[in-house]
Structure 1
Amino acid sequence: MNKWLVTATLALSFTVGLAQAAGNAEDGKNKSAVCAGCHGAEGNSPLNPVWPKIAGQHPAYIEKQIKDFKANKRSDPMMSPMAAPLSDQDIADLAAYYSSQTIKTGVAAADKVEAGERLYRAGNADTGVAACMACHGPSGAGNPQANFPAIAGQHATYVEKALKDFRAGTRTNDASKMMQGVVERMTDEEMAEVAQYIQGLSR
């Protein structure tokens, strides 16, 4: 656990060094029609909980994920083709628009929220699982300087899938393999519990 907390602390000391075009939220709104089919008009993906909410997400994080899909650093059969034709300006505009929207917080399952909160805030010292809040913050707002995403209010289904993808090595676009290191000792039940807690967490 201490190893990952130290790594997170070191990462927090650096500003994300990504050259980014200035995004225009109004232009992003005009370009977002194709995104709305999955993510919703305001980025709250109301149709399918496996599609992430992107409303209120840090713009640099949104940009990185789209660029990673475009460059095949992150793979998804739906997102990769959608990202392929986007220019850097398109990506910046979409990020500016969706980051300006407000996420709609969900409701955590009552039978999992207590254990999920314990994992989120304290981790599991017995197995070396780090606390989620070490990087994502007490309220799940993330850290834009370190490009750690906001996760509060995210669909539990999506969070659980993301954790399992990191553990399985099918998602590897995390900085310095931090997420892969955190989840390698997590059980399926722990992932389900913390995902439920995150779904009901308000920023």
Structure 2
Amino acid sequence: MKKLIAGVVLGVGLTAMAHGAGDPEAGEENAETCAGCHGEGGAKPVMSVYPKLSGIGEKYLYQQLVLIKDEDREIAEMTGLLDDMSDQDLQDLAAYFNEQDITVAQADPDLVDEGKALYRGGNMASGVPSCAGCHNPRGTGNEPAGYPRLSGQSADYVEKQLKEYRDGERVSGQNASIMMDVAAKLTDAEIEAVASYVSGLN
């Protein structure tokens, strides 16, 4: 009987963890503040170097919001916007955006083959691992690990982030060291190709 109860408690706990701690409905009101840059539902940013937030991953987005609020990840456009939000507010925001519909762009046809090869198989010659290993073959990410969805993300944003990882400008967060190591081995042409590929991946 004790084993049964323990199993039920563990099962409930794992279910709660899987769904995250945020309340999407509660997050909707604060999300209005974000729409000016990231678009309605976080799906259509006003500038291509701003990320799409829709469906990006609740755990990942929450972690990034915490880093930005704590000034561990500096984004000039975000300065002060999260100051008055509680930790629960940030969790609610992450939950709200994660439930929004994703929009997928059209990858550059001239870059698809190179981008696809790199995304799926990496580059053995230079030691670049496949992106699919962490971010899923379809680009849907890995929620338990906090790896974000890449499918449909803005190509310009992905390119900018990879270069910031490579140049040591984005160093915060538990997975930053992984991305810095990967990006350090990427050429500009590879970054452009894989960024374009994931923007149209679905």
- TM bucket (normalised to shorter chain) is 0.7 to 0.9
Residues 29-62 of structure 1, C-alpha deviations (whole Å, 9 max, x = no match): 1111110001111111342111100101211111
> Are 2:113 and 1:114 equivalent residues in the alignment?
yes
Q: How far apart are 1:85 and its partner, in Å?
A: 2.4
CA contact (8 A) 1:21 1:88 kept: no
Comparing 121-130 with 170-179, which one deviates more in the overlay?
Answer: 170-179
Whether the 8 Å contact between 2:128 and 2:185 is mirrored in structure 1 is yes
Q: Structure 1 residue 27: deviation in Å?
A: 1.5
Change (3 A) 1:125 1:174: farther
Compared with structure 1, are the counterparts of its residues 70 and 46 closer, same or farther at alpha carbon in structure 2 (3 Å cutoff)?
Answer: closer
User: Secondary structure of 2:92's partner?
Assistant: helix
Aligned to 1:28: 27
| Aligned amino acid, residue 192 of structure 2 | A
TM value normalised by structure 1:
0.86
The reply on whether 1:88 has 2:87 as its aligned counterpart is yes
Aligned to 1:40: 39
Which structure has more RCO (C-alpha within 8 Å, separation ≥ 6)? 1
Question: Residues 131-161 of structure 1: CA distance to partner in whole angstroms, max 9, x if unpaired?
Answer: 1111101001111111111111100000000
Task: Please say which structure displays the higher CA radius of gyration.
Answer: 2
Poorly superposed stretches of 4+, deviation over 4 Å: none
Q: Name the residue aligned to 1:198.
A: 198
Identity of aligned residues (%): 40
For 1:110 and 1:130, the matched residues in 2 are separated by: 23
Map residues 93-172 of structure 1 onto 2, 5 A cutoff. Answer: 93-172=92-171
Using structure 2 for the length normalisation, give the TM-score: 0.87
Counterpart-to-counterpart distance in 2, 1:167 and 1:151:
18
1:53 alignment partner in structure 2: 52
- Of stretches 22-31 and 189-198 in structure 1, the one that deviates more from structure 2 is 22-31
Judging changes above 3 Å, is the alpha-carbon distance between structure 1 residues 108 and 172 closer, same or farther for their aligned structure 2 residues?
A: same
**Structure 1 counterpart of 2:189:** 189
Segments of 5+ residues of structure 1 without an aligned counterpart are 1-14
CA distance in 1, matches of 2:87, 2:191: 34
Q: Which runs of 5+ in 2 are unaligned?
A: 1-13
- The root-mean-square deviation of aligned C-alpha atoms, in Å, is 1.8
Contact map agreement 1:21 1:89 (CA 8 A) in 2:
no
